[in-house]
Structure 1
C-alpha cells in the first residue's frame, strides 16, 4: 500500500479546520462578501505557519463558505484560489510576524479584482474600482490577519499537544 502524504490525524485536522472556517464565515453576522469585508475566519489563514494540514483545510473551508454564501461561480473559484495561494505562501514564511502578509496580499489582489470585475463588468471603470476594492479587501484582511491572526497564533502556542513547527 502506498504511503499517504498525510496521516489520519492530519486529515482529520484539515477537516476540522475546513468546518470551522466555513462555519465562522457563514454564521457570523459581519460583512464577509462584497467590497468591505471582515472574515473573522481569515485569522485561521495563519495556521499553515504552524502545520501543513491547514492548507487543504483552509482551501476546502473557503470553497464551502463561498459555495454556500455567494451566488457567483467566479467567487467559488477565485476566492478559493486566493486562500489556497495564501496558505501555501504562509507555510513557507520564516518569520511568524510576517505570516499574516500572504493572506492580505493574495486577497487584496485576487478578491479585489474579482469584486471590481463584478462591479464594472470590465471596461474603463475597472482600474479605479480595482484600486478601491483591493484597498478595502486588503484593509479587512489586514485586521483579520495581523490583529486577530497573530493573537490566534499566540494562543495556539499555548495549546498542549499540538505539533510545533521547527524553529
Structure 2
C-alpha cells in the first residue's frame, strides 16, 4: 500500500483521527437507535438484528485504520447492551475481522460486502444461541427450490435459524445503510491513503 503523502500532515492526521473517533461514537449511537426504532424487538442485540451501525463497516473500504474505530464502537455498544462477556469479547472481534476483510477485498467488485454479513451471521449467531438460551426458529416451508431448501435448513435448528435471521439483518444494514454511509464519507472528503476514493 502506497501512502498518500498528504496524510502525513499533522493537521490532516488530526482530522483523520477525529473522523475515526466520530465513526466509533456513531456506531454506539446507531446501535442504540436500532433498539428505539424496534421497541420490544431488541434489534441491536437480539436474535433478530438490524444494526444500522453495521453499515459503517463499509467505511473500511477507505481507510485501513477504520476497523479499529469499528472495534472501539462495537465494544462500547456491547458493554452498554448488557448481554455479558461473550458479546463484549466476540462481537467486537468479529466486527474488526470483518472490517479488515472488507479492506483487503476492496479492489474486488461486490466482495467487500460479504465479510460483514458472513462473519456476523455465523459468529454472532454462534454465541447468541448459547448466551440467550432460546428456542428460536420458524415453521418449515413447502417446495423443493433452492430458497425453500435454505429456509428448511434454517428452520431445522435454532442455530441455523439465528444465522439466517442475523444474515438477513446484516444484509440490510451492510448493503442499504452501508451504501448511504459510503456516499456521505466520500462527499465529506474522508479518504486517506490506499482508499478507493471515487472508484467505489
Per the alignment, residue 138 of structure 1 pairs with 167
Q: Contact between 2:19 and 2:190, CA under 8 Å: does it hold in 1?
A: no
Gaps of 5+ in 1: 122-126
Q: Following superposition of structure 1 onto structure 2, how do residues 5-154 of structure 1 map, counting pairs within 5 Å?
A: 7-28=13-34, 29=36, 30=38, 31-93=43-105, 94-95=107-108, 97-120=110-133, 128-154=157-183
Q: Contact between 1:59 and 1:84, CA under 8 Å: does it hold in 2?
A: yes
Per the alignment, residue 141 of structure 2 pairs with none
Residue-by-residue CA offset, 1:70-109 (whole Å, 9 max, x unaligned): 2311101111111011011011112352221110011011
Aligned residues: 157
Gaps of 5+ in 2: 1-7, 135-155
Larger Rg computed on CA atoms: 2
- Compute the TM-score of the two structures, normalised by the length of structure 1: 0.83
2:189 is the alignment partner of 1:161: yes
Residue-by-residue CA offset, 1:54-81 (whole Å, 9 max, x unaligned): 1111000000000011231110111111
Shift of 1:131: 0.6
- Compute the TM-score of the two structures, normalised by the length of structure 2: 0.71
Q: Contact between 1:38 and 1:144, CA under 8 Å: does it hold in 2?
A: yes
Local SS of the residue matching 1:100: helix
Question: Alpha carbon RMSD of aligned pairs, Å?
Answer: 2.3
